[in-house]
């Protein structure tokens, strides 16, 4: 990949132990691949200091924090005040990830929904984008996002989007963004690629969700931010665009949504 083409990994987890002792090399490889900026995501607020420290240590890394829906029943319920206080840090660029996951943790649906609404309120108050995880909860997710938007607008990205066309349309109708992960590059993901292809290209981001969901040719291995380039090249194919044009478009999209993530 030409280093004069730059893209952003809009969602990764650099604090995870999979990367211990290797972060300097991982970030260097990302930059060599043209992935010049990363957003690392805190999924449990008690771990925010460690995630913040990574963002502070690397000029090209920013961070966001929230309570992951799969952890919502195990962690203290975040407050709007908690999240707004974290947002005072200059490298804090988003609220979340939050959302709904009924695939693994349907039994905690009620507390997940409560946590989600807290995060939405914080996104509305701070003006920072909400980062949503959604799995097997399309109907409730579309309903809550829409209800809350009527209470006051906010910005949002559907991270690692792999849900159905109905949730994609609901999110896009609210002005939200869809983020492509390695899943979109899997051979059997044509239905998902079709959903992305029907979306406005100015509402598309790219990400790894590293260390998970490595795209081909690394599928099944540990993912890392450098591999955003492989997903983004598949995205260019999906939208019928030249690679430099698609890269530039996703950069413009990211900077519009994550306006604080300025290098």
Q: How far is CA 95 from the centre of its chain?
A: 10
What are the structure tokens assigned to 26, written together? Answer: 């991982």
pLDDT at 13 over 70: yes
For the stretch 134-167, pLDDT in tens is: 999 999 999 999 999 999 999 999 999 999 999 9
Each domain of the chain, given as residue ranges in start order, spans 7-257
pLDDT at 240 over 50: yes
For the stretch 64-103, pLDDT in tens is: 999 999 999 999 999 999 999 999 999 999 999 999 999 9
CATH topology for 7-257 is TIM Barrel (3.20.20)
The confidence score (pLDDT) of residue 2 equals 43
For the stretch 44-57, pLDDT in tens is: 999 999 999 999 99
CB 46 within 8 A of CB 243: no
Q: Count CB neighbours of 58 within 10 A.
A: 16
Assign 3 a pLDDT band (cuts: 50, 70, 90).
Answer: low
| Coil, helix or strand at residue 12 | strand
Please compute the mean of the pLDDT values over residues 190-213 and round it to a whole number.
98
Q: Count CB neighbours of 166 within 10 A.
A: 13
| Contacts for 237 with CB less than 8 Å, ≥ 6 apart | none
Phi, psi (rounded to 5 degrees) for 201: -70, -20
């Amino acid at each position: 990949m030409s280093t004069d083409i730059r893209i952003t990994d809009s969602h990764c987890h650099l604090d995870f132990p999979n990367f211990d002792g290797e972060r300097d090399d991982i970030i260097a490889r990302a930059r060599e691949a043209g992935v010049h900026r990363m957003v690392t995501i805190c999924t449990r607020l008690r771990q925010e200091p460690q995630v913040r420290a990574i963002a502070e240590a690397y000029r090209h890394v920013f961070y966001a924090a929230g309570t992951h829906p799969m952890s919502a029943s195990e962690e203290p319920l975040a407050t709007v005040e908690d999240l707004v206080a974290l947002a005072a840090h200059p490298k804090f660029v988003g609220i979340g990830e939050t959302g709904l996951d009924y695939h693994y943790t349907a039994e905690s649906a009620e507390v997940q929904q409560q946590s989600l609404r807290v995060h939405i309120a914080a996104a509305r108050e701070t003006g920072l984008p909400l980062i949503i995880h959604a799995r097997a909860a399309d109907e409730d997710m579309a309903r809550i996002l829409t209800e809350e938007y009527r209470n006051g607008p906010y910005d949002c990205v559907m991270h690692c989007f792999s849900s159905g066309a109905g949730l994609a349309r609901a999110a896009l109708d609210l002005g939200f963004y869809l983020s492509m992960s390695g899943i979109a590059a899997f051979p059997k993901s044509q239905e998902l690629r079709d959903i992305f292809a029907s979306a406005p290209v100015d509402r598309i981001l790219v990400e790894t969700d590293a260390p998970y969901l490595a795209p081909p040719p690394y599928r099944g291995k540990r993912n890392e931010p450098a591999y955003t380039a492989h997903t983004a090249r598949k995205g260019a194919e999906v939208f019928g665009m030249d690679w430099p044009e698609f890269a530039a478009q996703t950069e413009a999209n990211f900077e519009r949504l994550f306006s604080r993530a300025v290098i």
